[in-house]
Amino acid sequence: MEIADYIVADDQTLVSRVLEGDDCAFEYLFNRYRDAISRLFLQRLGASSSSPADADDLLQETLIKVYVNLHRYSPRYTFGQWLYTIARNTFIDYVRRRQEDMPLDDRFFAPVSSAPTPEESVINLQQRTQIEHYLSLLTPRYRRLFELRFYEECSYEEIAVKLNLPLGTVKTGIHRLREQMCRLITEGENR
């Protein structure tokens, strides 16, 4: 596709292109919502001095979750609704990890999950293959952090205990892991 085609393509077309292996389409798709999601995180985090850094971490985590789970997206919902649901859930997880009592808006609805169709199973396998490829480019340490954080959905504290590492080391490692995975996903095979 030409750059202009990506720009004018609707979300459904870009999702289909990503599921076919076009990582450039994912970059354009996610960039459409990047600023709005970032503002959402900043607004909910308040005016604390760490808000921009936390919002960036949450945005990166959302990017990875969207990419890893794109095969689960259902066209019954707009892509924006689905993406915001993931962002909302990422924020809820963040709040739970921090044990803060922050009000959450109930405007977002999670899609009802159902058993995958055979086509979804094939797409899932393709997506998993891409993720495995990207993981193979990481060091074993970062691969393990990825598995614990995104596959097993462990909290930072749980990862620190499992790997016998200081909490700060785990947080730094996951931050660097997110940056590397985001770079791999958005750059795709252009590396």
Ordered DSSP codes for 23-39: HHHHHHHHHHHHHHHHH
- Give the span between the Cα atoms of 55 and 40, in whole angstroms: 9
Instruction: Give the predicted TM-score (pTM) of the model.
Output: 0.55
20-40 pLDDT, tens per residue? 888 888 888 888 888 888 888
Mean pLDDT of 125-147: 81
> What are the structural domains, with CATH classification, of the chain?
3-103+118-190 (1.10.1740.10)
Q: What is the pLDDT of residue 103?
A: 45
Burial annotation 114-134 (CB, 10 A radius, 16+ → b, else e) = eeeeeebeebbeebeebbeeb
- In the structure, what pLDDT confidence band is assigned to residue 101 with cuts at 50, 70 and 90? very low
- In the structure, what pLDDT confidence band is assigned to residue 185 with cuts at 50, 70 and 90? confident
Q: What is the pLDDT of residue 164?
A: 92
- Give the span between the Cα atoms of 155 and 148, in whole angstroms: 8
Average pLDDT along the chain: 79
- Tell me: pLDDT of 172 over 80: yes
Give percent of the chain above pLDDT 90: 5
- In the structure, what pLDDT confidence band is assigned to residue 52 with cuts at 50, 70 and 90? confident
